Each structure stands twice: as C-alpha cells, then as structure tokens.
Amino acid sequence: MPAGPHYPDVIATGIPETAGRAAASAVPEVVLRSGGVTARLEPLVAEHFAFIWRLVRRLGLPADAADDAAQQVFLVAVERIVDILPGRERAFLFGTALRVASSRRREVARERAEKAIELVDPMPAPDELTHQKRLRELFDAILDRMDHDLRVVFVLVEVEGLTLPEGAELLDIPLGTATSRLRRAREVFEAEVKRVEARAAFRRGPP
C-alpha cells in the first residue's frame, strides 16, 4: 500500500478483529444449506465474510444492521453462484455489498429520520464508554461526514489495506480517479481530525 499520511489512533482502532464473528458463525446454517453449492460457498464465506462485514459496517451501518447486510450479501451469492466466475468472487461480493449497504442505509435513515448525525464529543465524561469504543465511534462519525465515493476508496485503502490498483479494480474506476478520490478523502479526514483536536484543546483550556 502506498505510504499515506499519518493518522492518530482513531484510524488504527478500526473495528475489533472479533467483530462480526458471531454473525459469520451463523452464515453456514443460513446460506450453506442449499444442496450442490456448499463446496464452493463454504470457502467463500470463510475467506470473505469478515471483509464484507467490515465493509458494510464502514459504509455507515450500525453493527446489528451490518450482521444482516453481510448475511444478505451471501444469500445473494447463493442465488447467483453459477454466475460468479472463478477468481471474481471478491469483486462480485464487493459489488453486492455496495448495493445492499446502500439499500440498508436508506432503511436505517428512515428509522432515524429525526436524529441528526453528530461527531462524538472527544472529551471523556464519568461512566461513559471506554476509550477504544469512543475512538471507533468518532472514526465512524468522521466517515459519515464524507462523500460516499470518497468514503469507499478511503475504507478500501486506508482501513482494509488494499493497494490503489486493487481498489480501483474493485470499484471498476480508472486508477487516476481512485487516486484523486483517495487524496481528497485524506484531506477531508485530516481536516475533521484537526477540528476535533482543536475543539478538545479549547475545552481543556490553557495548560
């Protein structure tokens, strides 16, 4: 991966490696029951489920909705298994995940129609969430303020560790377009981090 700008712990926090495992463990019972496709779907789930779960989560879905959305992606794979070309499994799942996440986001937005999205207060308070969880929520909130096209490239490269050519291939866009989107996404992310840090410094007051 090309060397990117240095980000604070907020990006390193990401999603815990254990996230999504409970949902993943339920997938074989849900989608692998279709006779004749188990042999191909089982390794598909094992290799790609965690990536798809993290992707839909980072595309703006809460954890419970991400569980459902990730399983839905693999349900679509069951129905379309004969259409998935060998070697193109990840591209198929990625495209399906984008569509499923977009649809589910609209549902979530309707459910929260009157609830504004705000950045998490960076200052800790008594009995609040742990530092790690607060960082994850802050990271998600910053991503929520990012344009969708920028967000997808940023998540693929900065969070998932794909190279720019790999990200461009998954998105089916020119490498130059992916490069410019990533550059803009980094600028937006850094600006939001600086804004949060400045607000935190103001609240702390003079040393």
Write the Ramachandran bin of 136: left for phi over 0, alpha for psi from -120 to 50, otherwise beta.
alpha
Mean pLDDT, each 10-residue run in order, the chain (207 residues): 47 50 51 57 86 89 86 88 87 92 75 46 49 74 88 91 92 95 94 80 66
Structure letter (DSSP) for residue 160: S
The dihedrals phi and psi of 50, each to the nearest 5 degrees, come to -60, -40
47-84 confidence digits (pLDDT tens): 899 999 999 988 888 888 888 899 899 889 888 888 88
Supply the pLDDT for residue 165.
94
Q: Where exactly are the structural domains of the chain?
A: 16-115, 119-207
**Which residue type, as a one-letter code, is found at position 84?**
I
Q: Is 182 exposed, middle or buried (0-12, 13-18, 19+ CB in 10 A)?
A: buried
Contacts of 53 (CB under 8 A, 6+ apart): 19, 20, 23, 24, 66, 67, 70
Residues 100/72, Cβ–Cβ less than 8 Å: yes
Contacts of 85 (CB under 8 A, 6+ apart): 92
Topology at the third CATH level for domain 119-207? Arc Repressor Mutant, subunit A (1.10.10)
d(CA 151, CA 58): 9
Structure letter (DSSP) for residue 81: G
Contacts of 116 (CB under 8 A, 6+ apart): none
Residues 161/123, Cβ–Cβ less than 8 Å: no
Residues 69/100, Cβ–Cβ less than 8 Å: yes
